[in-house]
Amino acid sequence: MPKTGFDLVVIGSGPAGESAALNAAKQHKKVAVIEVNTQVGGACTHKGTIPSKALRHTVKQLMRFNNGTLFREIGHSRQIPYPTVLKHAISVVEQQVDMRSKFYGRNNIAVYKGHAKFINDQHLSVTRADGSVEELHSQEFVIATGSRPYHPPDVPFEHSRVYDSDTILSLEHTPRKLIIYGAGVIGCEYASIFSGLGIKVELINSFENLLAFLDDEISVALDYHLRESGVMVRHREVYERVEANQEGISLHLQSGKIIRGDALLWCNGRSGNTQNLGLENIGLSSDGRGQIKVNQRYQTDVPNIYAVGDVIGSPSLASAAYDQGRAAASSNDKDVRFVDDVPTGIYTIPEISSVGRTERELTDNRIPFEVGRAFFKDTARGQISGEGTGMLKILFCPSTLRILGIHCFGAEATEIIHIGQAIMKQPETANTIRYFVETTFNYPTMAEAYRIAALNGLNRLTGY
């Protein structure tokens, strides 16, 4: 078996693995990346973030055409088949693969295509598709193998009408009615995407409310707008069994209800890709969801082996994964940052983003706060662009004016949030809501909502 030596070997080429490899290469380390698929980019590029958000963008364009008064004057609304929309959306994947492949080439990072398995804490084997095996030796390793949709054993995923968040991107027909089980981030995103295509959607939520980690007001707004777009949202429902045949899907709920549709999209959790990695050969184990425990340095219980990204669990975001990978590969401890303050980014239609604490958290912890709101329908840019749905909410301390949380629902929320995040990260008295009234914003812009919300909140302090 051929053997090759490196300073660092990264398993996985998604956001976490890529950033780890590039940071190590910038520090003049000899680096290798192992990718089990034929192309780099990981699930983020091929099955998750990139194709699903590109699909959302395409659907939103179609919705804009169908709902716009100008377009109605020049033609009828268009119902475009899902496979056609998907084909146009995922063209961006090729661009991403080409760009990321060049990253490795420019930085002299060796890329191995095959399945990695630890032999011991300094050696692993790479088994290629043709069966050939090569052994790699390294001083350090980073496990960045990502995650996959969780498959309960009693759900017939082998049936042609049953999909998960990976396989839905290969759906070759347009269902009349889609059942989505699981109303987490992925479930809510796909509910808004498919309803935007004019497909009937049943969204089954096991909990009291949608996305309970959000600010209550935002959660209620999401629920309302999904229903307004035609989604049937069912709360506090748990599945009992799934029946699938050539006629359709029957989802039996513990409440006694039977929900019928043409296809089922299962969006109920994910599992870390740690199977067959040979963790037992290095004294490591994963939990019931395939996740690996790490410390604040992203070290596992084996000091020279690190783990980052979805494989370590929450927050399971591409944004966090990039920073985690970079931190794990840093030689200088001063450059290591444990990622624990990531803004949420939820690409429903409209989208959602937040950073900091919610009203419920502040109230439960008896922390005084005041609220400033700006509704997009009251902004000039919102009126011009037709993006009047949504709001920006700032939570701040009444005495110090320190910003405690920012919550946004509406167009470009995931972009807008970073303005507030930048002020919240400022030290001591520089974190203040007064920044937004003492700084001139471009007009008209969606960012102007910060000025409106800040004035609204400060006016509350005076009783007006």
Q: Over the stretch 335-384, which tens digit does the pLDDT of each residue have?
A: 788 888 899 999 999 999 999 999 999 999 999 999 999 999 999 999 99
Give 292 or 332, the one with higher predicted confidence: 292
Average pLDDT over residues 397-412: 96
CA–CA distance, 65 with 71 (Å, rounded to integer): 6
- Residue 418 tokens read as 């970073």
**pLDDT interval class at 64 (50, 70, 90):** confident
What is the distance of C-alpha 177 from the center of its chain? 25
Question: What confidence score (pLDDT) does residue 74 get?
Answer: 62
Angstrom distance (rounded) from CA 269 to CA 151: 8
Among candidates 247, 272, 240, which has minimal Cα distance to 160?
A: 247
Name the band, by pLDDT with cuts 50, 70 and 90, for residue 321.
very high
Do the Cβ atoms of 11 and 36 come closer than 8 Å? no
Query: What percent of the chain clears pLDDT 70, i.e. is strictly above it?
Result: 97
Tokens of residue 414, six digits = 């995931």
Tokens 């991107």 -> residue: 169
Neighbours of 446 (CB within 10 A): 26
**What's residue 18's pLDDT?**
97
Contact 410, 391 (CB under 8 A): yes
If we measure between CA atoms, which residue out of 186, 146, 183 comes closest to residue 168? 186
Locus of tokens 């960012």:
447
**Surface-to-core class of residue 449, CB atoms within 10 Å of its CB (0-12 exposed, 13-18 middle, 19+ buried):** buried
Listed residue (280, 325, 276, 353) closest to 24, CA to CA:
325
Neighbours of 94 (CB within 10 A): 11
pLDDT for the residue numbered 77: 58
- Residue 2 pLDDT > 70, yes or no? no
Checking phi first, is residue 428 left (phi over 0); if not, alpha (psi -120 to 50) or beta? left
Specify the 3-state DSSP secondary structure of 462.
coil
| Contact call for residues 306 and 145 (beta carbons, < 8 A) | no
Token couple for 269: 């959790």
At residue 76, the pLDDT reads 61
Query: Does 211 have pLDDT greater than 60?
Result: yes
Q: In this predicted model, what pLDDT tens digit does every residue of 259-284 receive, in sequence order?
A: 999 999 999 999 999 999 999 999 99
For residue 386, the model assigns a pLDDT of: 85
pLDDT tens column, 222-245: 999 999 999 999 999 999 999 999
pLDDT at 410 over 90: yes
- Tell me the Cα Rg of the chain: 24
Summary mean pLDDT of the chain: 93
Residue with tokens 């994964």: 321
pLDDT in tens, 11-63: 999 999 999 999 999 999 999 999 999 999 999 999 999 999 999 999 998 88
Among the listed residues 369, 370, 366, 309, the one whose alpha carbon sits nearest the alpha carbon of residue 339: 309
Return the percentage of the chain with pLDDT > 90, whole number. Answer: 85
pLDDT given at position 69 = 66
- SS3 call for 144: coil
The pLDDT value given to residue 68: 67
Alpha-carbon distances of 142 from 12, 103, 149, 312, 390, rounded to whole Å: 9, 18, 22, 12, 41
> pLDDT tens digits for 177-201?
999 999 999 999 999 999 999 999 9
pLDDT of 397 above 60: yes
- Of 73-82, 201-210, 416-425, which range is least confident? 73-82
Q: How far apart are the first and last CA of the chain?
A: 77
* Biggest distance spanned by C-alpha atoms of the chain: 77
B/e letters for 9-32, b = 16+ CB within 10 Å, e = fewer, are bbbbbbbbbbbbbbbbbeeebbbb
CB atoms within 10 A of CB 78: 10
- Please give the pLDDT value at position 72: 62
Q: Does 293 score more than 90 pLDDT? A: yes
**116, 117, 290 from 276: Cα distances, Å:** 8, 7, 11
- Residue 160 gets which letter from DSSP? T
Confidence tier at 3 by pLDDT (50, 70, 90): low
Beta strands in 114-170 (DSSP E): 115-120, 123-127, 133-143, 147-149, 162-164
Higher pLDDT, 89 or 311: 311
Give me the mean pLDDT over the 93-103 stretch.
94
Beta-bridge partner residues of 410 = 390
Is the pLDDT at 441 greater than 80, yes or no? yes
For residue 453, name the pLDDT band (cuts at 50, 70, 90): very high
Higher pLDDT, residue 464 or 154: 154
